[in-house]
Each structure stands twice: as structure tokens, then as C-alpha cells.
Amino acid sequence: MKRQWAAVATLAVLTAATLLRAAEPAGLPAVATPPPSPPTMSPAAKAGAEPFAANCGFCHGRDATGGSTGPDLTHSDLVAADNNGNLISDLLRTGRPDKGMPAITTISAKDLAAIVAFVHYEKTVSDSAFGQRRSVDASDLTVGNADSGKRYFDKQCSSCHSATGDLAGISKRVSGLNLLRRVLYPGSESRTGTRSKPATVEVTTKDGKHYNGDLQYRDEFVIALRETNGTYHSWSTKLVTFSVNDPLEAHVQQLARYTDADLHDVYAYLQGLQ
């Protein structure tokens, strides 16, 4: 008798489960999978962040995902094929002069290994990114209010720019993400990143040597310049003193003031300057 009741109970459970599945609406999307946690950064990769920024970041971006002139290394076939630096190290030592990549001949073996570890870490981060989306749609940008953008522009930007002067018809010359980049930092929207009035920098090293040239890269860790003879130099900001003369300093200062709403509103206003 107990076996009979057990069989009946089992049949009831299976029948209920079948009915519940049949009652579920067809075509419902699967429950979204939460994005994976970022991979842990090894000590070697952490050590490579600063030398990478100093030697490579000005072209390839601080996270190796591409800059104004250098490609995305996290999607590079060479990086994918690299085994503990056997390909990356040789490339850094010899450079690619035909592609505008200088050879790095003075870097230590320790820093070279750290750069390799950092690049592979950033590749892992990129490969594990949820969705793998690496572009911006126009619909992402066209969410601002043009009237609010005009008020912001009149208050913050009109002392240097004019809607009927230098910015007249700006939306016909620059559009989409490049227009937003121009708002943030003029020159960054061009293919080469060239500015009509480049920033200049004066650097003094601890041993008293002075260097002058066009500013090539600057963040909290690294300052870099290119002399008039074409020679490129970069230093850790902790090891030198420097002063920057940047005609676009107002744009740099503005970066700390913008909210997302401000940017989209100004974009909407500029987009209407036909």
C-alpha cells in the first residue's frame, strides 16, 4: 500500500510540473545572466600599469584598448598568440617604424615583463566583458535638451566660442561621437588627434636637465613631450617638475564640472547649429 501511495504522489508531482510548464507563456526571454566579475589583477600586471602608460599609453590608451593613433591591443592577433612575452617583448624592442611605433630600447627586463603581464590582463578583462559592445550608437547621444544646452553654453563656453562664429554649422563638419569628443577636448575627434594649437610643456629632471616640446601625454603618473627635432621623452611625474601651457586648459578644467546631463544637453544644442 505504501508503494502504491508513493507511486501516486510521484505521478502527481510530475503531472503538476508538466501542467505548470504548459501554462508558461511561450517566447519569454531567459533570465538575464549577471555580468561576470572582473578578473583578479596579478601583482605583475599591477606593476606593469605605470610603465605601460609611460611607454605605450599615449598611442594605445591607458587600458590598452586603443588610443588616438594606436590600435586596440586587447583584440590584437599578436597578443592572442603571445606566450609569456615571446612576441610582445620582441615587438617592443624593435618597434614598427613603418607604422609609427618607436623601438623601446632602454626599458628594463623587469618593466618589460610587467608590461606583458598588464597587456594580457587587459585582454582578459576585455574578453570577459559582458556584451562585448565597443561602440556608441547615435541614439545613445541624442537624449539631451537643446534649450538647457544653450543656457549652459552661454554661461560656460561663450567667452571663447560663438554659435554664429567659430561654431557656426559645427554639426555639418563634426557629428556623432566625434562631436561629443570635440566638446570634451578639441582635436581628439580627428583621426590623427592633431590640434591646431598644441599644448607645450617644460620639464626639468632631478639632475637639472631641461626639456621643451609639444605635450604628447599627461596623466597623474606620466608626462611626455616631443621635441622640435622629433625626439620623444616620457617621465614619471614623481621624478620631474614640469609646467604645461595649454590653450585648451579651460576644456580640461571643464571636465571636472560636466555632469552627464550637461554633456548631452550641450551636444543637443551644438547638433542644432546647422
Among the residue ranges 23-37, 64-78, 207-221, the one predicted with the least confidence is 23-37
Fold match between 43-127 and 200-246? no
pLDDT tens digits, residue range 46-81?
999 988 888 888 788 888 888 767 788 988 888 989
pLDDT at 5 over 50: no
pLDDT at 264 over 80: yes
Question: Phi and psi (nearest 5°) for 14?
Answer: -65, -40
User: What is the structure's pLDDT at 146?
Assistant: 92
What is the pLDDT at residue 88?
92
Half-sphere CA count of 238, side-chain side, radius 13 A: 3
231 or 274: whose pLDDT is higher? 231
Kindly list the domain boundaries of the chain, sorted by start residue: 43-127, 138-193+251-271, 200-246
State the fold for domain 200-246: SH3 type barrels. (2.30.30)
Assigned C-alpha cell, 258:
560636466
Regarding beta strands 210-218 and 222-226, do their DSSP bridges make them parallel or antiparallel, or are they unpaired? Answer: antiparallel
Domain 43-127 class, CATH top level = mainly alpha
- CA 219/CA 150 separation, integer angstroms: 31
Cell of 134: 565597443
Q: Tell whether the model's pLDDT for residue 273 goes beyond 60.
A: yes
Give me the CATH topology for the region 138-193+251-271.
Cytochrome Bc1 Complex; Chain D, domain 2 (1.10.760)
164/191: higher pLDDT: 164
Q: What is the pLDDT of residue 196?
A: 60
